[in-house]
Amino acid sequence: MFKYSALILVFTSAMNCQVPMRGQCPDVGVQPNFEFEKQSGTWYLIEAYYTEFLKGGKCVKETLTPNPNGTLGIELTQINSKTGKSKVIKGISKMIGENDDGVLLESLFGTALIDARVDILDTDSDSYVVKWSCQKDKKKKDVIQTIVWIESRKPELCDSLKQKIYKVLDNNGIKKTPLSQIEQKDKSHTPIIHHPDKIDNVLNACCVLPNFVGKWDGLNFEASKTNPLMEVNDYGRQCSLMGLHLREYFAAYFMGLAAVAIRRSYEF
57-107 per-position pLDDT tens digit? 789 999 999 999 999 999 989 898 888 888 888 999 999 999 999 999 999
What is the pLDDT, as a whole number, of residue 168?
A: 98
Dihedral angle of Cα 169, 120, 31, 45, to the nearest 10 degrees: 70
Reported as a pLDDT band with limits 50, 70 and 90, residue 216 is very low
What is the pLDDT, as a whole number, of residue 60?
A: 92
Reported as a pLDDT band with limits 50, 70 and 90, residue 38 is very high
What is the pLDDT, as a whole number, of residue 169?
A: 97
Report the candidate in 167, 171, 160, 173 with the shortest Cα–Cα distance to residue 127: 160
Residues facing 123 on adjacent strands: 129
Question: Yes or no: is domain 2-185 CATH 3.40.640.10?
Answer: no
Residue 198 clears pLDDT 50, i.e. is over it: no
From residue 188, give the alpha-carbon distance in Å to each of 65, 67, 84, 198, 201.
28, 34, 9, 22, 26
Residue 111 clears pLDDT 70, i.e. is over it: no
Asked if 102 and 120 count as a contact pair (C-beta separation under 8 A), the reply is: yes
Q: What is the C-alpha separation between 59 and 256, in angstroms, rounded?
A: 34
Q: Where are the domains of the chain?
A: 2-185, 196-264
Report the candidate in 46, 33, 58, 39 with the shortest Cα–Cα distance to residue 106: 39
Is the whole model's pTM more than 0.75, yes or no?
Answer: no
Report the candidate in 119, 157, 151, 125 with the shortest Cα–Cα distance to residue 38: 125
DSSP string, 137-179: -SS-TTEEEEEEEEEESSSS--HHHHHHHHHHHHHTT--STTE
Q: Give the mean pLDDT of the chain.
A: 73
Give the chain's length.
268
Kindly report each contact of residues 199-202 with a partner whose C-beta sits within 8 Å and lies 24 or more positions away, as own/partner: 199/263, 199/266, 200/225, 202/259, 202/262, 202/263
What is the pLDDT, as a whole number, of residue 45?
A: 95
